[in-house]
A = this chain, B = another copy of it.
Amino acid sequence: MSAPDRTTAVELDAASPLAHHRDLFLLPPDVVYLDGNSLGALPRAAAVRLGHTVTGEWGHGLISSWNSADWVNLPRRVGARIAPLIGVHPADVHVGDSTTVTLFKTLVAATRLRPDRRVLVLEPGTFPTDGYVAAGVAETLGLELRWCDPADPAAALDDDVAVLSLTHVDFRTGAMYDLAGVTAAAHDAGALMQWDLCHSTGAVPVDLTAADADIAVGCTYKYLNGGPGSPAFSWVHPRHQEAWSQPITGWFGHARPFEMERDFEPATGIARMASGTPPVLALSALDAALEVFDGVSLDVLRRVSLSLTDYFIALVDERLGPTFEVITPREHALRGSQVSLRHEAAYGVVQALIERGVVGDFRSPDVARFGFAPLYVSHVDVYDAVDNLVAVMEHEEHARPAYAIRNAVT
């Protein structure tokens, strides 16, 4: 086997259709950032926009900016930018609360569309907050939370299941569900299909319309680069919108918010997903951040993403052989935009890499996770990451005493 060559990485980057998109981001020098699946990098436009929103719109425009700067429509304007990334109509996406709160609202509303059914189905490896929310909804409404086999969610479905709620791409392994296939199985059982798109939107093509899904929720601070704690989006299929009744009825979801009427009447369409006053600063930053997707086709995004993850897997196989178990599926159709490696000292491995300027993250108990945001991660980053990983293992940097406790897999 020939020694791997950084020149190959340089050539792959030169040929990449997204090579110049990296310039749209502020990235610290000397850092290989492979954690965009946890917190996306800063788009330069977001920083500029936020400065203007704060000093110009808030400071100088004050209350008038609700109209003059169109703050009042930010939740839907930002939603319209996200829509093409998930294959839906621009009018059908709302952005507002945290992912957790949004999941609560959609899950309660979904159960109201299936009043004769009393079971929510999730898989036990789902992102924790999804499970916590479902448990909270079940407790609040007197429903049952049922855990399914991740490998076969359909087996858990019966005519008492109201909603099947799954994360499209698994946060720990990077494994990806077949959006259309699983949705069809849910529908065959008469259940509604809710997708959590947190770990796919912006890196993996999503077509909710083609999949005929019912509900989707996703976060915006990972591959959408909206900034720490930026608000989540939600989408509800138009066929459900008229009957849609989410529980947190608030003034911004009212048909006539500024008439200050005593009784609630929901706004038409997805606007009824709104509850309180929209988080203007975060939405403004997110609105500008999403400009990095302008003119980028999802096919190109996916091609570059797969090129990066393929290259990473190949280098790990070649240079680190059996030391690490690649737990992310190797088949393209089953993989998102991250690669996860299992190692009993994964905590130490991740910490030692961070010391070297290669930022991935650790997921308990033994997973080192690397995300490849195709808009700003390069093949050279991938090469350098693996090169540093080889060095970490050669010098046993992962076994430093300081990492011992977290390295101890129990």
Is A250 within 8 A of B98, CB to CB?
Answer: yes
Tell me the A87-142 residues at the B interface (CB within 8 Å). Answer: 96-101, 104, 108, 124, 127-129, 131-133, 135-137, 139-141
Q: For the complex, is A230 an interface residue (Cβ under 8 Å from B)?
A: yes
Residue pair A38, B63 in contact (C-beta under 8 Å): yes
Residue ID in chain B nearest A102 by CB atoms: B276
Q: Which residue of B lies closest to A99 (CB)?
A: B276
Indicate whether A54 sits within 8 Å of B47 (C-beta atoms), given known contacts A97-B97, A251-B129, A262-B124. Answer: yes
The interface bits of chain A over 201-237 (1 if a CB of B lies within 8 angstroms of the residue's CB, else 0) are 0000000000000000001010000011111100000
Copies of this protein, total = 2
Q: Interface residues of A toward B: which range?
A: 35 or more
Contact (A63, B229) CB under 8 Å given A54-B47, A98-B279: no
B248 touches A100 (CB 8 A): yes
B262 and A131 contacting across the interface, CB-CB below 8 Å: yes
The one of B28, B97, B260 that contacts A364, using a Cβ cutoff of 8 Å: B260
Contact A31 B264 (CB under 8 A): no
B47, B50, B59: the one within 8 Å of A42 (CB): B59
A89 to chain B, nearest CB (A): 25
CA distance A219 to B276 in the complex (A): 11
Q: Which residue of B lies closest to A71 (CB)?
A: B228
Distance in angstroms from A173 CB to nearest chain B CB is: 13
B128 and A261 within 8 A (CB): yes
In the complex the two chains form, is A54's CB within 8 Å of B277's CB? no
Q: Is A281 an interface residue (CB 8 A)?
A: yes
B250/A133 in contact, CB under 8 A:
yes
How far in angstroms is the closest Cβ of chain B from A135? 5
Q: CA–CA, A23 to B202, complex, Å?
A: 43
A46-79, CB under 8 A of B: which get 1 and which 0? Answer: 1100110011011110111110000100000000
A226-280 contacts to B (CB < 8 Å): 227-232, 247-254, 258-264, 275-280
From B136, B172, B227, B354, give the contact of A58 (CB < 8 A): B227
Task: Let me know if A86 is at the binding interface, CB within 8 A.
Answer: no
Q: In the bound complex, what is the Cα–Cα distance between A250 and B126 (angstroms)?
A: 13
In the assembled complex, A359 has its CB within 8 A of some CB on chain B: yes
User: Which of A124, A140, A363 has its CB near the most chain B CB atoms (within 10 A)?
Assistant: A140
**Residues of chain B within 8 A of A408, CB atoms compared:** none
Bound form: Cα–Cα A259–B219 in Å: 20
Q: A227-B58, A276-B129 are in contact. Are A251 and B100 (CB under 8 A)?
A: yes
Q: By the criterion CB–CB under 8 Å, are B42 and A54 in contact?
A: yes
Residues of A within 8 A of B (CB): 26-28, 31, 33, 35, 38-39, 41-42, 46-47, 50-51, 54-55, 57-60, 62-66, 71, 96-101, 104, 108, 124, 127-129, 131-133, 135-137, 139-141, 172, 219, 221, 227-232, 247-254, 258-264, 275-283, 285, 354, 359, 361, 363-364
